[in-house]
Structure 1
C-alpha cells in the first residue's frame, strides 16, 4: 500500500481544503455497536429465560424503536448543545474584540509565540490575523478554546446513529423473523460477524489492524450478550 494517504498535487490539496471536514463515522459506529449489542442482549436474555419466539420479536423490535430513537435524540441534543456553546463563545469573542482589542491581540500574540513565532514574524502573524474580525474570532475559538473550525449538523449526527442502530440491531432478530432452525445459534453467529465487521470498519480510523479492531468489538459484544444471557437464566430460575 502507498504510504501516502492522499495526493499532494496543487489541485488535490485545494479540493481537500475546500471540502467539508464534517465526519459522522463516529455516530454511525456508535449507533451500530449499540444497536447490535442491545438487541442481541434482549435476544440473549429471552433465550436464557427460554421464552417464546414471539417474545423475542416483540421485545427486540420494541428495543429497535425505543432505544434507537432515544440514542438518536440524545445525539441530536448533545450536538445541539455543542453548537449552542460554540455560538455562545463566538459571541463572547466578538464582544471582547470590540471592548478590549489590545487584550485580544495580546492573546493572539501569546498563542503564536507558543507555536514558535518570534520577533517580526510574530508581529506580522498577529497583524494578519487581527486584520479580519471573522478570522480573528475563528483563531481564538480554535487555539484558545480548542473548538473545531466547523460545527456538525445535529440532524445528520442523529440520522447516522439511528440508521446504524436499526440496521445492525435488526441482525439478531432476522433468524427469529424468518423462522430459522436453531434461531439463537444462528443469531449468535450473525451478530458476532456483525460485531467483527463493525470493528474491522472502525480500524480505518485507528492505528490498530482490522483484525485486532474486529476482535475487540466482537469481545465487547460477546461480553454484553453473555451478561444478558446469564441474567435471563437467573430470572428464569427465580421465576421457576
Structure 2
C-alpha cells in the first residue's frame, strides 16, 4: 500500500473531498496490462535468443527469430487480452439484462434476494427493511447492487481496446531491448549474448520495481522476484536449445 502523509490523509477524508471523490466514475488501471506485456515480451524474445544461441545458431538467426516472435507473439497476446476483456464486458452486460428482466417479472423475489443479501451482512429489522426499500426504489441502483452483491461484477471494467494497446506496446518496447545487442554485428556472438542477458535482467528488475512503486510494495524484493521469474524462463530456453543441439547434432547454420 502506498505511504501517504497524515495531513493529506485527513484532508482527503473531509466531507467535501469524500463527496467529490465518490461522484467521480471509478478509474480503470492498465498497469497490470503493461506489466504482463512487458514481462512476457522480454521473456519471449530473450528466451528465443537464448534457445538460438544455445543451439549454436549465428547472431543473424537469433535476431530474425527474435523479431518474428516479438511481432507475432505481441499481436497474439494483445488479441487475447482484448478478447478476455471483451468477454468480461459481454458477460456483465448479459447479467445486467437478466437482472432487469427478473426485476420486471418477479420484483418480490428480487426484493427478497436484496433482503437476504443484506441480512447476511448483519442488518435486521427496520434498518434492513429501510435498506431494501431504498435500493429497490431505484431500478438502476437495484440492478447494480445485484450485479455487485450476487454476481461479483464491479463497476470498473477495463476498455478492451486500451488494454490490448497497452499490452502490445509494452510487449514490443520491452521485448525489443534484449535484441538490440544482436544488431551490433561487429561484436562476437558471446559478447552479444552477454549484453543481451544483462539488458534482459535489467528490464525484468525495472518492471518489478515499477510495479512495486505503483502498488506501494518493497521495490528491491519485487524487482528480484521478477528477475528470477524471467531468468528461469530464459535459462530453460537456453538449456532446451543446447540439449536439442546435442541430440540432433546441429552445429550452427
**TM-score normalised by the chain length of structure 1:** 0.94
Q: Mean alpha-carbon deviation: is it higher for 176-185 or for 5-14?
A: 5-14
**1:1-240 map, 5 Å:** 2=4, 7-17=12-22, 18-179=24-185, 181=187, 182-204=191-213, 206=215, 208-240=217-249
Shift of 1:122: 1.1
Q: Deviations over 1:40-82 (max 9, x none)?
A: 0001011111211111111011011100000000011111111
Distance in 1 of aligned mates of 2:213 and 2:21: 18
**CA RMSD in angstroms, aligned pairs only:** 1.8
**TM-score normalised by the chain length of structure 2:** 0.89
Residues 184, 192 of structure 2: 8 Å contact kept: no
Distance in 2 of aligned mates of 1:186 and 1:228: 17
Query: Which 4+ runs in 1 deviate beyond 6 A?
Result: none
Unpaired stretches in structure 1, ≥5 consecutive residues: none
Distance in 1 of aligned mates of 2:186 and 2:109: 70
Number of residue equivalences: 240
Shift of 1:207: 6.8
